Amino acid sequence: MKKKQFWQYIAIVVVISLFLGILIHFSTILDQLGLETRGGSGRPGENSIVDTIAEVFISSMVAFGTFILNYFIIRPLDSSIRSDTKRVLVSIILTLISVTILSDSFFAIKRILSDSTLQKSFNLLYTSRDIFTGMVVLSGIFFIKTVYDKQSIRIENEKLKRENLLAQYESLKNQVSPHFLFNSLTALKELISQDPENARSYIDHLSQVLRYTLQSNQSQTRYLFEELEVADSYMFLLKMRFGTNLVIEKHINEKYNDFRLPPLAIQTLIENAIKHNEVSKRYPLTIIIETNNNQTLRFSNLIRERSYPDYSSGVGLANLSKQYIFLSGKDIVILKKNNEFTVEIPLLNPVTIESNNS
């Protein structure tokens, strides 16, 4: 990454240096084209085309060399290096010195190679040109550093934000699993006292569900068909406890089998319905699970609140909502209408999930 940024910096300063070289000798270039400029002679050919190209190249090289010098002073690609007063003063002084030395050296070499007998004497125009070059280089280097520092801060903030969200997500998953385990063990305790024979089958199915629970914590989402398979084992556990007093109907379109959802989402919603409604021979509870054309999984049941409701910490649906917001930016939909309670959870397209995680 640093190597790529360095070459990007080189490409930028090459363009700026070339532009600066053309700008400094713009009047001479126009003269070569036969265009009269203010302060120019208006006589083409006073300088040869080769001389003009050489002067543009030299001025560009002076600017480029000064950019490279400042790369090691200002460190524009290192956000940990701050441009304090001392560093700025050193940069200004060395820039002016390097511009003067490089300019005099390059043009001296040019005069030697061109066998010119004219010696460069002090000229205010040359000094102004050197100062202008130094100012452009300093402005460019500090502008590049400012842009890069802001970009680094933005990237760092996004990284910290994502790490924070990931930490919150892991915390949410860890809250879901103990909640499920507590309810399962409570049901097992009741079953042992009521039906010891079937308690062994209950333990077998419970072990399968718990194994899936431990494995599901290793990923952020699971396939719908996987959730449905473990939900069948979970529903078996519930049937052992409630018998015919609990009816769970599933109407699943197979085209959604490879869509994804947070681990244990189905169990969480089934638990939520049982926890808040009476399940008895007098008032059996029917939970309907069905897929909709709007790419959601819908849970619905008639509301029959318990006379003595179980304690609820309220984390089940809240955690599920936060997981969906983290994974896709979508939220679950909770409705109470005509004595019916419904929850719709999005089914996440695997392609969308992969692109968000990349």
- Residue 43 has what pLDDT? 43
Which residues are CB-contacts of 306 (< 8 A; sequence separation ≥ 6)? 276, 277, 278
Which is higher by pLDDT, 258 or 158?
Answer: 258
**pLDDT tens figures, 15-28:** 998 998 888 888 88
Q: What is the mean pLDDT of residues 284-288?
A: 95
- Check residue 343 and give its pLDDT: 96
Highest averaged pLDDT of the listed ranges 95-109, 298-312, 331-345: 331-345
pLDDT of 258 strictly over 90: yes
Mean pLDDT of 207-213: 79
Per the CB < 8 A criterion, the answer to whether 307 and 278 are in contact is yes
Average pLDDT over residues 246-270: 92
Class of residue 301 by CB neighbours under 10 A (exposed 0-12, middle 13-18, buried 19+): buried
pLDDT at 42: 42
pLDDT value for 253: 94
Q: Cα–Cα distance between 30 and 118 in angstroms, integer?
A: 24
At 250, the pLDDT band (50, 70, 90 cuts) reads very high
Q: Average pLDDT for residues 42-47, to the nearest whole number?
A: 47
Q: 318-321: which pairs have CB atoms within 8 A and are 24 or more residues apart?
A: 319/172, 319/175, 319/176, 319/268, 320/262, 320/265, 320/268, 320/269, 320/345
| pLDDT tens column, 58-78 | 888 988 988 888 888 888 888
Q: What is the pLDDT of residue 333?
A: 94
Q: How far is CA 98 from the centre of its chain?
A: 42
pLDDT at residue 287 in the model: 96
pLDDT of residue 269: 92
Q: What is the pLDDT of residues 116-154, one digit of tens each?
A: 554 444 455 677 888 888 888 888 888 888 888 888 888
Q: Residue for token digits 């070289």?
A: 21
CATH of domain 195-357: 3.30.565.10
Residue 91 to residue 70: CA distance in whole angstroms: 7
Confidence of residue 254 (pLDDT cuts 50, 70, 90): very high
- Say what the pLDDT of residue 217 is: 64
Tokens for 308?
């003595």
CB 199 within 8 A of CB 253: no
User: Residue 41 pLDDT > 60, yes or no?
Assistant: no
- Give me the DSSP letters along 206-235: HHHHHHHHHHHTTSS-EEHHHHHHHHHHHH
The whole-number pLDDT of residue 39 equals 47
pLDDT for residue 119: 47
Contacts of 296 by beta carbon, 8 Å cutoff, 6+ apart: 333, 344, 345, 346, 347
Task: Categorize the per-residue pLDDT at 114 as very low, low, confident or very high, splitting at 50, 70 and 90.
Answer: low
More confident residue, 345 or 122: 345
Question: What's the 3-state SS for 49-76?
Answer: HHHHHHHHHHHHHHHHHHHHHHHHHHCC
User: What is the rounded distance in angstroms from the CA atom of residue 300 to the CA atom of residue 288?
Assistant: 5
What's the Rg (C-alpha) of the chain? 37
The predicted-structure confidence for 117-127, as pLDDT tens digits, reads as follows 544 444 556 77
**What pLDDT does residue 299 have?**
97
Q: Which helix (H) or strand (E) holds 247?
A: strand 246-251
Question: What's residue 169's pLDDT?
Answer: 60
Instruction: Mean pLDDT check: name the lowest of 79-88, 212-221, 295-304.
Output: 212-221
**Domain locations in the chain?**
2-157, 195-357
Sheet strands (E) in 3-59 = none
C-alpha–C-alpha distance, residues 298 and 346, integer Å:
9
Write b or e for each residue in 108-136: b if 16 or more Cβ atoms lie within 10 A of its Cβ, otherwise e. eebeeeeeeeeeeeeeeeeeebbeebbeb
Q: Which residue has the higher pLDDT, 256 or 204?
A: 256
Residue 115's pLDDT band, with cuts at 50, 70 and 90, is low
For residue 300, name the pLDDT band (cuts at 50, 70, 90): very high
CA separation for the pair 243, 198 (Å, rounded): 12
Q: What is the residue-wise DSSP string for 159-212?
A: HHHHHHHHHHHHHHHHHHHHHHHHHHHHHHHHHHHH-HHHHHHHHHHHHHHHHH
* Contact yes or no for 225/257 (Cβ under 8 A): yes
Tell me the per-residue pLDDT of 218-230, one tens digit each, with 9 for 90 and over. 778 889 999 999 8
**Amino acid (one-letter) located at 128:** S
- Mean pLDDT, rounded, of the chain: 80
Who's near 164: CB < 8 A, 6+ residues apart?
none
Give the pLDDT score at 180. 58
Q: What is the pLDDT of residue 238?
A: 83
